[in-house]
Amino acid sequence: MPYIQNSDADREQMLAEIGVSSVKELFESIPADMHVDGDLEIEPGLAEEPLSRHLQELGSSNMPAAGSCFLGGGFYDHSWPAIVDHVMGRSEFLTAYTPYQPECSQGTLQVIYEFQSMIAEMCGCEVANASMYDGATAAAEAALMALAQTRRKKVVVSAGLHPDTRETIKTYLKHLDAEVVEAPLVDGVTEWGKLIDDKTAAVLVQQPNFLGNIEKMAPIAEAAKEVKAMSVASIYPVAMGLLQSPGKQGFDIVVGEGQSLGVPLGYGGPSFGFFATSQKAVRKIPGRLVGISTDTEGRRAYTLTFQTREQHIRREKATSNICTNNALIALRGCVHMAALGPMGLEEVACVSRQRMLELVESLEGVGVYRAFPGQAFFNEVTFRVESTEIALRFKEMLRDRGLFGVLPLDRWYDDMNGLFTLACTERTRPEDIAELVAVAKTACTMEVAR
């Protein structure tokens, strides 16, 4: 197999050098009840040609969502300027090498520095790091940072935070003797009640929330501040073209998923996350930061200023164990933001919002109504039909017409039978809206077979 370089003789030589008789012996320190007893129930390996054919067959099932995608839930069908693909494809950027040696990495370091600057401005914060793996891990790292800063053990999370993000936070904190408490949703927005108290380390909220509704942010930041907890906002970047940034409303940390900043949907990835906070917390930021200075000849120079995790020195006492940043995909975000500028981002946000207003009005005209009519929204809305069965039929009928939409919410929320979301972006065409509404008129008024 071309993918496995070591021969049996190579492995025998390595085992002899280590001083063990078999690979199995290397794992004897792991408790026996954690070992897999017997062979895995998987098919035998394939040779290169059959494997290539098999992967092509699997890949042929993928369907492009370009121009007719109403799906949201954290990933959105936005467009990007042609320059994004051009710059990302240049050979000097196509490297996975970490820029530890600034003398030969000035281009990469400059890109990261500019990325940090734009993210910090968008989030309304003083400083941002060099990017994270994705939005979910960025939020989890924010929770870890709050635990370390406050030395408390309680994290209050809005039920309107993306379900995957909530699960990621719980996974991160599972073995840290920390308590994760979910604040429920009432009429589509978070009801905090008395959950935020003097035992709280962090309060996490999403803007807009997973149902598409706009949360009232300033009171959350103030409530956290009163008990000396840290407030964390997870944002949809495009929405910041119209909404006030959380940093300007008093939030301590702002994180988010960067897919909407010039990154293709790509069947869920790859993407990048971002993380921004205040200057006073700069030494506690996970990951790394690029700074700007001058060299010995007085020229502008960039370098890795902080790697505050220091897990290679402090080990378990480190603030975080994240080792890197998603530099190549963050490059897409950087070029995208630079090409659009603040006015361009605002225009994308305005068009996305306008398309959703048109969709809401058209759907209500055929009897499909918003589930939370009293709440403000951006470009994603929760609708209500009689049952999830009807919603799934709507989804299937859309797919038959080459349209993609309908995200049923009872997958994550037990009390949301018949509720689903639709989203619009600047790529949503009026004719797509008209076709979706025509399908909805049929799908949502037919009686369900019993």
CA–CA dist 402, 386 (Å, integer) = 24
Dihedral over alpha carbons 162, 221, 171, 273 (to 10 degrees): 60
- The pLDDT of residue 313 is 64
- The pLDDT of residue 371 is 97
* H, E, C per residue of 332-391: HHHHHHHHHHHHHHHHHHHHHHHHHHHHHHHHHCCCCEECCCCCCECCEEEEECCCHHHH
Which residues, at least 6 apart from 31, have a Cβ–Cβ distance to it below 8 Å? none
Q: Is the sign of the CA dihedral 93, 274, 269, 46 positive or negative?
A: positive
Which residues, at least 6 apart from 436, have a Cβ–Cβ distance to it below 8 Å? 70, 359, 398, 403, 405, 422
- The pLDDT of residue 450 is 37
- The pLDDT of residue 315 is 67
Which residues, at least 6 apart from 81, have a Cβ–Cβ distance to it below 8 Å? 262, 335, 336, 339, 340
Q: What is the pLDDT along the chain (450 residues), one digit of tens a residue?
A: 556 778 889 999 999 999 999 988 888 889 988 888 888 888 888 888 999 999 999 988 887 776 589 999 999 999 999 999 999 888 877 765 678 788 888 888 999 999 999 999 999 999 999 999 999 999 999 999 999 999 999 999 999 999 999 999 999 999 888 999 999 999 999 999 999 999 999 999 999 999 999 999 999 999 999 999 999 999 999 999 999 999 999 999 999 999 999 999 887 789 999 999 999 998 889 888 999 999 899 999 999 888 755 556 666 667 777 777 888 899 999 999 999 999 999 999 999 999 999 999 999 999 999 999 999 999 999 999 999 999 999 999 999 998 999 999 999 999 999 999 999 999 999 999 999 999 999 998 765 443
- The pLDDT of residue 310 is 55
- The pLDDT of residue 28 is 86
The single-letter code of the amino acid at 265 is L
- The pLDDT of residue 221 is 97
- The pLDDT of residue 449 is 43
CB atoms within 10 A of CB 292: 14
b/e sequence 221-259, b meaning 16+ C-beta within 10 Å: bebbeeeebbbbbbbbbbbbbbbebbbebbbbbbbbbbb
**What are the chain's domains?**
82-337 (3.40.640.10), 342-443 (3.90.1150.10)
- The pLDDT of residue 323 is 74
Residue 140, token pair as written in the block: 């989890």
Q: Which residues pair with 423 in a beta bridge?
A: 380
CA–CA dist 237, 1 (Å, integer) = 44
The SS3 of residue 290 is: strand
